[in-house]
Amino acid sequence: MAKQSPAQRLFTLTCCLLAAPRLGLSKQEIYDSVQAYADSSDDAREKMFERDKSSLREMGVALEVIEVDAFEEQSAHRYLIAKGSFDWPKDLELSPEQFQLLELAARAWNNRLMAPSAQSGLTRLKALGVVPNSRELSVFTPRLIARHQSFDPLAIAISQGQQVSFSYRKADADASVRLIDPQKLRFIEGQWVLLGLENGELKNFLLRRIVSEVKILGQVAQISDPASIAQAEAELAKFIDQQVAVIALRTESEAWWHFGAPADSEVTLTFMDEALLAEDLMEFGTDLRVVSPKSLADRILRGLERVVSDHA
């Protein structure tokens, strides 16, 4: 394997520490799992590790050191990144442009620019028996929803003040063609949402439910006044607050990591579209169970039954 760059080394170190969140890793386990350390002399790896610890902390990574019984361990210290330190701040909001930058970072992962080095470290930890064989690197993979094909034409239409048309499929309904005066795009509860005027009424459209190419028309779009837009956004926020799901997660599973579950492994989610939420939760299989509402649990069950029926 080629020599690791400093960025690859830090990335591998972070993934290895995240793979052992409860007991952490001893210094020797870290040296054995991160290629750059394993390939260096004792003095070089010590200096490298000290620099990397400082770099991680400067970048905001909550690297902790815990004391252990020196009679049972070769080293009296173990290093870990506490669960929850990588959670998304509840009060943090990003603009569409910032989300696009995050999307580029996720694509860099998907193109495997960094994953091989981190996968190598995780494999070494499995061989040492430090992390379970079931642990996969996908646990730490960015799970940003890829930008929809409709995003760019909608953004262009909004900036140019032009009408658009597209086919839109609501949950449990057939698709229909919609003629919309687009107002703004927002990222809410993990979903891209278009706020637009249809027949003079402000409505919200989930980009995941747009099932055709977005056509930019020649007509000038009607622009709603700021007060009406603010009221529509407030009504959507109120609606979302009322759509609550309680999910029980299997401890140490990918779903457990993805949702940042507390010790009791149960989380409360708000959502806009129950059918789309069911589709997303189905990805985690038996890693989770819907406590409430029953309608969501029933949707997932019907979806899984369809998968079995289609592939049996």
Residue 77 pairs with which residues in a beta bridge? 67
Q: In the prediction, which pLDDT does 101 show? A: 64
Residue 185: which residues within 8 A CB-CB, separation 6 or more? Answer: 96, 151, 154, 155, 158, 192, 193, 194, 195
The Cα–Cα gap between 253 and 134 comes to 9
The Cα–Cα gap between 184 and 193 comes to 8
pLDDT tens for the 312 residues of the chain, in order: 556 777 778 878 887 787 776 677 888 888 888 888 888 888 888 998 998 888 888 877 778 888 766 444 455 688 888 766 666 666 777 666 676 566 656 555 554 445 555 556 555 555 555 555 555 455 455 544 445 788 889 988 998 999 999 999 998 888 999 999 999 988 888 788 999 999 999 999 999 999 999 999 989 999 999 999 999 999 999 999 999 999 998 887 778 877 766 656 788 999 999 999 999 899 888 889 999 999 999 999 998 888 777 765
Q: Which long-range contacts (CB under 8 A, 24 or more apart) does 172-175 make?
A: 172/275, 175/211, 175/212
The length of the chain is: 312
* Domain 151-228 in CATH 1.20.5: no
Q: In the prediction, which pLDDT does 102 show? A: 65
Contact 25, 65 (CB under 8 A): no
Contact 93, 102 (CB under 8 A): no
Residue 118: which residues within 8 A CB-CB, separation 6 or more? Answer: 11, 12, 15, 16, 137, 140
Q: In the prediction, which pLDDT does 146 show? A: 46
| C-alpha closest to that of 29 among 69, 67, 80 | 80
The pTM of the full predicted model, rounded to 2 decimals, is 0.56
CB burial of residue 181 (10 Å; 0-12, 13-18, 19+): buried
For the chain, give every domain's residue range.
Answer: 6-140, 151-228, 244-311
| C-alpha closest to that of 228 among 203, 210, 207, 247 | 203
Q: In the prediction, which pLDDT does 165 show? A: 97
Token output for 266? 């149960």
